[in-house]
């Protein structure tokens, strides 16, 4: 009797397994058959389908206008000399592509202001304030990435509250200069392909410029279901100290002043350069770990919030540099007044460098910008490090200026639910890993998974 019963349980388990696999494919298509997060960074849009995002400005209307439609630019905006053509400001897509989201286009006739956003949450707020969908097909100016993947770079969004003008640029220097003349930094509107190496708009001769895809963060590191109202406590923010060694060409960052004084400065190995960032020493609302690694071969300290990138670095000879593996906690996107931490790399010096200063990131000789590692609080108004720790205090942008974190729709968020809070794989015991696998199967597959595990357990016992 037990043989027949065991056979019945085995067949039923097989049937449940089939159902679970169908469940996996339908509800979670981005996961592989092993239940792991698929490498979505390899799912890139077709760069041969890129089109230029044309830019024009009207000094009389104080309005920046952007379109991918050459006829609209020539026969509407430029006709009559109201707008002046300023070049190709970015490269994006005119149709949906893998990993991209719509860049919606709105217009306020009272303020003569064109507004572009990937946030579906932001649209009703703007409509309530007098903006309406513009004449663009499907209300869409084009399609961009909602995060930094596939070599894409940020489109900076700025706003002049006096002229009531929204301004978009991929040029870090231009965005900083705009702030100096009265524009407010409103974060990042999306990620697209540069029109030139430094993001400068190019008139009639731009060529898509893609950063190496290996240096951009995967989607999981910048996606979260948290809302903009869920902010970490700014009073808990502490300085991330910065030092540099010209002998080994290495930038070093730590929140531990004892470590900085004893291990780095006291040995004359590093020179203290100030408080680079304000972040959190413990995990708070909406923050994620900033992992810290070190390569003895390259004498390079490396910091990332991306779990996949962390594991890749470990495979390349880097090792965790602290017992906790973590330098601190930061936001994975621009909310709560946080500003970007730029990540740069010098292949000749084999050194990673992190700064919140746009000027410093744009002018670091021999370094290329690899993107944004995370978002934290500024140490000064312009992002420059404060050389006197006691005088530095967290500086944040007004929260009301933040773009909504829902630059990623709920369908994107659900696909990335496993990675943000997952620690990198360590050499923990097999029993611990086994328990984690069971919990992950149950939480991911739900009732079918639990039933499958139960039937297998019954079959083994019998």
- The domain ranges of the chain are 2-37+433-461, 47-215, 222-402+410-415
pLDDT at residue number 369: 82
In this prediction the pTM is: 0.49
pLDDT at residue number 58: 96
Q: What is the pLDDT of residues 9-33, one digit of tens each?
A: 555 555 544 444 444 333 333 333 3
Residue 59, C-beta contacts closer than 8 angstroms, at least 6 positions apart: 84
Residue 198 has pLDDT above 50, yes or no: yes
pLDDT category of residue 49 using cuts at 50, 70 and 90: very high
pLDDT at residue number 183: 92
pLDDT category of residue 362 using cuts at 50, 70 and 90: confident
- In this predicted model, which residue has the larger pLDDT, 191 or 169? 169
Least confident of 94-98, 137-141, 214-218, 386-390: 214-218
- In this predicted model, which residue has the larger pLDDT, 461 or 154? 154
Mean pLDDT for the chain overall: 75
Q: What is the mean pLDDT of residues 275-286?
A: 92
Q: What is the pLDDT of residues 302-357, one digit of tens each?
A: 999 888 889 889 999 999 999 999 999 998 876 777 788 989 999 999 999 999 88
Residue 419 has pLDDT above 80, yes or no: no
pLDDT at residue number 263: 66
pLDDT category of residue 4 using cuts at 50, 70 and 90: low
pLDDT at residue number 61: 96
pLDDT at residue number 211: 67
Q: What is the mean pLDDT of residues 258-271?
A: 79
pLDDT at residue number 30: 30
pLDDT at residue number 84: 96
- In this predicted model, which residue has the larger pLDDT, 108 or 232? 108
pLDDT at residue number 97: 93
Calculate what percentage of the chain has a pLDDT beyond 90: 36
pLDDT category of residue 189 using cuts at 50, 70 and 90: confident
Least confident of 90-104, 277-291, 420-434: 420-434
- In this predicted model, which residue has the larger pLDDT, 275 or 222? 275
pLDDT at residue number 6: 56
pLDDT at residue number 172: 79
Least confident of 37-41, 208-212, 373-377, 454-458: 37-41
CB-neighbour burial class of residue 340 (10 A; exposed 0-12, middle 13-18, buried 19+) = buried
Q: What is the pLDDT of residues 366-406, one digit of tens each?
A: 998 887 888 888 887 777 788 766 555 576 654 433 332 32
Least confident of 284-288, 302-306, 437-441, 444-448: 437-441
pLDDT winner (highest mean) among 115-119, 153-157, 206-210, 263-267: 115-119
Residue 57 has pLDDT above 60, yes or no: yes
């Amino acid at each position: 009797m037990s043989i027949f019963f065991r056979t019945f349980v085995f067949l039923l388990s097989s049937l449940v397994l089939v159902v679970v696999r169908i469940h996996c494919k339908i509800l979670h298509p981005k996961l592989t058959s092993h239940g792991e997060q698929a490498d979505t960074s390899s799912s890139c849009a077709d760069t041969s389908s890129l089109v230029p995002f044309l830019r024009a400005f009207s000094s009389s209307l104080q309005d920046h206008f952007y379109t991918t439609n050459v006829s609209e630019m020539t026969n509407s905006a430029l006709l009559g000399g109201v707008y002046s053509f300023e070049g190709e400001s970015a490269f994006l897509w005119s149709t949906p592509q893998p990993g991209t989201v719509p860049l919606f286009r709105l217009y306020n006739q009272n303020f003569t202001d064109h507004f572009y956003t990937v946030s579906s949450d932001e649209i009703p707020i703007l409509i309530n304030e007098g903006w309406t969908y513009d004449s663009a097909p499907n209300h869409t100016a084009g399609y961009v990435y909602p995060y930094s993947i596939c070599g894409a770079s940020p489109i900076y969004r700025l706003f002049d509250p006096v002229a009531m003008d929204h301004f978009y640029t991929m040029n870090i220097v231009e965005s900083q200069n705009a702030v100096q003349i009265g524009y407010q930094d409103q974060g990042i509107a999306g990620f697209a392909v540069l029109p030139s190496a430094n993001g400068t708009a190019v008139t009639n001769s731009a060529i898509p410029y893609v950063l190496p895809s290996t240096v951009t963060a995967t989607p999981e590191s910048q996606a979260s279901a948290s809302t903009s109202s869920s902010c970490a406590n700014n009073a808990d923010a502490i300085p991330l100290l910065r030092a540099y060694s010209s002998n080994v060409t290495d930038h070093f960052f730590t929140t531990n002043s004892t470590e900085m004084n004893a291990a780095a400065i006291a040995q004359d190995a590093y020179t203290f350069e100030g408080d680079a960032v304000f972040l959190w020493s413990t995990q708070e609302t909406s923050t994620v770990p900033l992992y810290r690694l070190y390569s003895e071969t390259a004498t390079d300290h490396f910091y990332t919030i991306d779990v996949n990138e962390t594991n890749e670095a470990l495979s390349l000879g880097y090792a965790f540099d602290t017992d906790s593996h973590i330098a601190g906690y930061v936001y994975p996107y621009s909310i709560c007044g946080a500003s970007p931490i730029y990540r740069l790399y010098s292949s000749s010096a084999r050194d990673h460098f992190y700064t919140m200063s746009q000027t410093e990131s744009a002018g670091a000789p021999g370094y290329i910008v690899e993107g944004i590692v995370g978002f934290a609080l500024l140490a000064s108004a312009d992002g420059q490090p404060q050389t006197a720790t006691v005088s530095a205090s967290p500086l944040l942008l007004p929260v009301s200026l933040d773009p909504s974190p829902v630059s990623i729709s709920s369908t994107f968020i659900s696909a990335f639910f496993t990675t943000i809070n997952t620690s990198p794989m360590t050499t923990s015991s097999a029993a611990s890993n086994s328990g984690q696998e069971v919990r992950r199967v149950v939480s991911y597959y739900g009732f079918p998974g639990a039933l499958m595990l139960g039937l297998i357990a019954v079959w083994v016992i019998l």
